């Protein structure tokens, strides 16, 4: 009898493929990786079981070449989660399944992970080596106290004795150090505030079953402390906790905090900043860890004892993938929590309107923390500097410079926020008004100055496609050699502040200066008083706790106040609240200065009162009246082609093939706001409905029609619940 299996492959084809399983290959379980022929190549796929219908004649069936793992690489719960994503985001299942694995684990070359810890086995607990085996006895005694690292054993020349214990079954090599059983799990837990205790009294009974809890807490109100106490309760039941964070930069600080709080517990981290080998090893170690901390890709990590999911800064747009599978890690986390019947905790000082609306409707439980956790700490005073009456000098007003100088004189620290990296947003010719364009995008090239010790020259760079070139010696349009830097970025701001405050120790923080492993060093420098002023982009706005930072200066954010993007003011309020929250987190009062030409905008009125709830309700009322999310659901059909005509033609054809559904609106095809990126013209088509079910059914019926459009001169993709337009 011929044994058939279905295999999911990483292809754009939204289907599974049937293969014959030869007897000499052996049995295969769902979730196992297999190597199969596909076209003229060999590919790695995921086995999913036997097909229900025979789609291919026996003569055309091809054989599985080999099974690549001893046990399934993907567990049943991850297979279910991937199927949810395939159904909801209308994306090929095979592409999702392979993307959940680290790159080193999704190819045919076996990956051998290091096992750096020697741990005691159960038989080894009572083992008694012979009287002459003093070294083995000493090593067993050491293992009874704590796991021993391979590096230490090698340095102590105990490798031979370790091998003897392993051969006897008294010890084993492990990828991750087990928890120390004699260490208190909450070594330095501070006393809970009254607000925190009330929140815990509500949250703790919800552990053990699915439900979504939204913690809306002011910056510095102790949301992290609630996470830690919930994790402590989960660990006490031998369950695992998954903590999702929006930025790689937050990982070192949070991991250090968690390790101090739970000494001896087993931790793993997952994010794209890890080296491929380390990422693969951490993924393989995840089933044995107690707490997994990571960015959005961690939502697919193998956690067989999952007991709690925490999504910190749940409002952050970084949780939404912007290419490939355009998933929201927050929403997938909720789906995973529902499938596993475990609670999901969302936390933010400025919840997304989607989550806040769910909480107001009663679908999520709303927990509010209105006071800062440190009794002496108060929310900072927020002052507006009116640019209509106070002039700018190199991007700064006199009150701003004076505030920085006074803060420096008190020995306190300041943060200057400008969400624009580089030296200047563009290079400009004052003679003919030429502005440095990107030859591949409908964007300007950003001027980046070479650092003093750099061997590279000044550059023009595109922040969209990565194109870069040298600074031209003269204007390409009129030949004028006197080109000017237009506007300012963090590089120029750093230069200005250095000239104004020569005694200040200034550090610039943006994607040009920071790498994932540099954040721990930065935290030590700030806490050690080695930095007076931090200049940076949004990387500085999230989650960092600097007790001696008392001033936050915010520059050039007015562009978002009147943006055509309906989410712009929601994002701006969240960003300003996050930046303001860095000031005055300990016993010293904080102060925030915002330079703006529109001080009468309603956003600032709510911001000065630190009243997110009232502003959110006002925005929700506007959204409801305008029939915008979260009161409607949206899907964006994107198309890319070498010409705009081809992209729009594809979308017009797609609209003509759309099902005629009364509950779903299909809007006209238009060029994307950023119409050209990397030499491809981009256009989009919006589909909207007040009913999620109606919209999903519409796209499900429409998807085969999109696949049928010929000739294929445009690349297309579907973005469910889009955040970027």
- 150 against 689, higher pLDDT: 689
Candidates 3.50.70.10, 2.60.120.1440, 3.40.50.300, 3.90.550.10; correct CATH number of 381-422+488-623?
A: 3.40.50.300
Pairing of strands 267-270, 306-312: unpaired
Give the model confidence (pLDDT) of 203-223 as tens digits.
999 999 999 999 999 888 889
Mean pLDDT for all residues in the chain = 90
Q: Which of 209, 225, 207 is nearest to 217 (CA)?
A: 225
The domain 633-720: what is its CATH number? 3.30.70.1320
Give the residue-averaged pLDDT of 33-43.
Answer: 94
Q: Which DSSP category does 419 fall into?
A: S
Confidence at residue 1, expressed as pLDDT on a 0 to 100 scale: 58
Q: How far apart are CA 497 and CA 33, in angstroms?
A: 56
Q: Enumerate the β-bridge partners of residue 17.
A: 7
Q: How far apart are CA 328 and CA 723, in angstroms?
A: 10
Confidence at residue 185, expressed as pLDDT on a 0 to 100 scale: 46
Give the residue-averaged pLDDT of 571-595.
Answer: 89
Per-residue confidence at 119, pLDDT binned at 50, 70, 90? confident
Predicted confidence (pLDDT) at residue 521 exceeds the cutoff of 80: no
CATH superfamily of 4-105: PriA, 3(prime) DNA-binding domain (3.40.1440.60)
Distances (CA, A) of 462 to 289, 444, 445, 677, 717: 41, 7, 5, 10, 24
This prediction's pTM:
0.90
- 563 against 26, higher pLDDT: 563
Per-residue confidence at 130, pLDDT binned at 50, 70, 90? confident
Confidence at residue 377, expressed as pLDDT on a 0 to 100 scale: 64
Q: How far apart are CA 596 and CA 497, in angstroms?
A: 19
In degrees to the nearest 10, what's the CA dihedral of 671, 673, 678, 683?
-20
Per-residue confidence at 177, pLDDT binned at 50, 70, 90? low
Confidence at residue 181, expressed as pLDDT on a 0 to 100 scale: 46
Q: How far apart are CA 575 and CA 559, in angstroms?
A: 13
Confidence at residue 263, expressed as pLDDT on a 0 to 100 scale: 82
Report whether 99 contacts 327 (CB < 8 A). Answer: no
Q: How far apart are CA 377 and CA 248, in angstroms?
A: 28
Give the model confidence (pLDDT) of 670-692 as tens digits.
999 999 999 999 999 999 999 99
Distances (CA, A) of 698 to 662, 688, 691, 703, 707: 10, 10, 11, 9, 15
Backbone angles phi, psi at 381, to 5 degrees: -75, 135
What is the three-class DSSP state of 370?
A: coil
Q: Which of 2, 142, 97 is nearest to 302 (CA)?
A: 97
Confidence at residue 534, expressed as pLDDT on a 0 to 100 scale: 95
Per-residue confidence at 183, pLDDT binned at 50, 70, 90? very low
Q: How far apart are CA 336 and CA 352, in angstroms?
A: 20
Give the model confidence (pLDDT) of 66-91 as tens digits.
999 888 999 999 999 999 999 999 99
- What does 44-56 look like in DSSP terms, one character per residue? EEEE----SS--S
Tokens 């747009």 locate to 317
Q: How far apart are CA 556 and CA 396, in angstroms?
A: 10
Buried b (16+ CB within 10 A) or exposed e, 53-74: eeeeeeeeeeebebbbbeebbb
Give the architecture-level CATH label for domain 194-369: 3-Layer(aba) Sandwich (3.40)
């Amino acid at each position: 009898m011929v044994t058939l299996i279905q295999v999911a492959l990483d292809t754009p084809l939204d289907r599974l493929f049937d293969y014959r399983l030869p007897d000499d290959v052996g049995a295969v379980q769902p979730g196992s990786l297999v190597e199969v022929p596909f076209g003229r190549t060999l590919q790695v796929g995921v086995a999913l079981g036997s097909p229900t219908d025979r789609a291919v004649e026996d003569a055309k069936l091809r054989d599985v070449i080999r099974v690549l793992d001893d046990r399934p690489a993907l567990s049943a719960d991850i297979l279910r989660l991937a199927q949810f994503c395939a159904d909801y985001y209308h994306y090929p299942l095979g592409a999702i399944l392979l993307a959940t694995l680290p790159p080193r684990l999704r190819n045919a070359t076996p990956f051998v992970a290091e096992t750096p810890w020697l741990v005691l086995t159960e038989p080894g607990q009572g083992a008694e080596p012979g009287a002459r085996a003093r070294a083995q006895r000493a090593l067993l005694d050491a293992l009874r106290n704590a796991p021993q690292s391979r590096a230490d054993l090698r340095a102590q020349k105990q490798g031979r004795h370790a091998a003897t214990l392993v051969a006897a079954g008294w010890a084993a090599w492990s990828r991750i150090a087990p928890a120390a059983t004699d260490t208190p799990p909450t070594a330095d837990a501070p006393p809970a505030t009254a607000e925190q205790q009330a929140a815990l009294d509500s949250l703790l009974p919800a552990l053990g079953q699915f439900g979504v809890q939204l913690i809306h807490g002011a910056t510095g109100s102790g949301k992290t402390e609630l996470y830690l106490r919930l994790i402590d309760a989960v660990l006490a039941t031998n369950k695992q906790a998954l903590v999702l964070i929006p930025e790689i930069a937050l990982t070192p600080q949070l991991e250090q905090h968690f390790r101090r709080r739970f000494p001896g517990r087993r931790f793993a981290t997952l994010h794209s900043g890890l080296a491929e080998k380390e990422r693969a090893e951490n993924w393989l170690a995840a089933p044995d860890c107690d707490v997994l901390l990571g960015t959005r890709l961690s939502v697919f990590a193998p956690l067989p004892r999952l007991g709690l999911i925490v999504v910190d800064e749940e409002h952050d747009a970084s949780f939404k993938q912007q290419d490939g599978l355009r998933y929201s890690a927050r929403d997938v986390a909720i789906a995973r929590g529902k499938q596993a019947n475990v609670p999901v905790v969302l936390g933010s000082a400025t919840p997304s309107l989607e989550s806040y609306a769910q909480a107001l409707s009663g679908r999520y439980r709303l927990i509010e923390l209105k006071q800062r956790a440190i009794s002496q700490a108060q929310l900072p005073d927020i002052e507006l500097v009116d640019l209509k009456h106070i002039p700018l000098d190199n991007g700064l007003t006199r009150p701003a410079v004076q505030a920085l100088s006074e803060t420096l004189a008190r020995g306190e620290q300041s943060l200057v926020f400008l969400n624009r990296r580089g030296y200047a947003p563009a290079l400009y010719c004052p003679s003919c008004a030429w502005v440095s364009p990107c030859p591949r995008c409908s964007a300007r090239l950003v001027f980046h100055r070479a650092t003093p010790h750099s061997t590279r020259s000044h550059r023009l760079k595109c922040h969209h496609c990565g194109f870069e070139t040298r600074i031209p010696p003269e204007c390409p349009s009129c030949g004028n050699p006197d080109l000017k830097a237009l506007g300012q970025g963090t590089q120029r701001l750093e230069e200005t502040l250095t000239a104004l405050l020569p005694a200040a120790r200034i550090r610039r923080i943006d994607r040009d200066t920071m790498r994932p492993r540099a954040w721990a060093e930065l935290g030590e420098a700030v806490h050690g008083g080695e930095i007076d002023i931090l200049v940076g982009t949004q990387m500085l706005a999230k989650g960092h706790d600097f007790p001696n930072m008392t001033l936050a200066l915010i520059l050039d954010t007015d562009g978002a106040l009147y943006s055509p993007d309906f989410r712009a003011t929601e994002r701006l309020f969240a960003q300003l609240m996050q930046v303001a929250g860095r000031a005055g987190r300990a016993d010293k009062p904080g102060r925030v200065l915002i330079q703006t030409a529109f001080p009468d905008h309603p956003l600032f009125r709510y911001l000065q009162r630190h009243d997110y709830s009232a502003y959110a309700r006002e925005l929700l009322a506007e959204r409801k009246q305008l029939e915008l999310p979260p009161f409607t659901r949206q899907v964006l059909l994107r198309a890319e082609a070498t010409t705009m005509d081809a992209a729009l033609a594809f979308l017009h054809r797609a609209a003509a093939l759309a099902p005629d559904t009364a509950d779903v609106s299909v809007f006209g095809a238009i060029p994307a706001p950023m119409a050209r990126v990397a030499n491809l013209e981009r256009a989009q088509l919006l589909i909207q409905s007040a009913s999620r079910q109606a919209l999903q059914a519409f796209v499900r019926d429409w998807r085969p029609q999109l696949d049928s459009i010929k000739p294929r001169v445009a690349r297309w993709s579907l973005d469910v619940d889009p955040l970027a337009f």
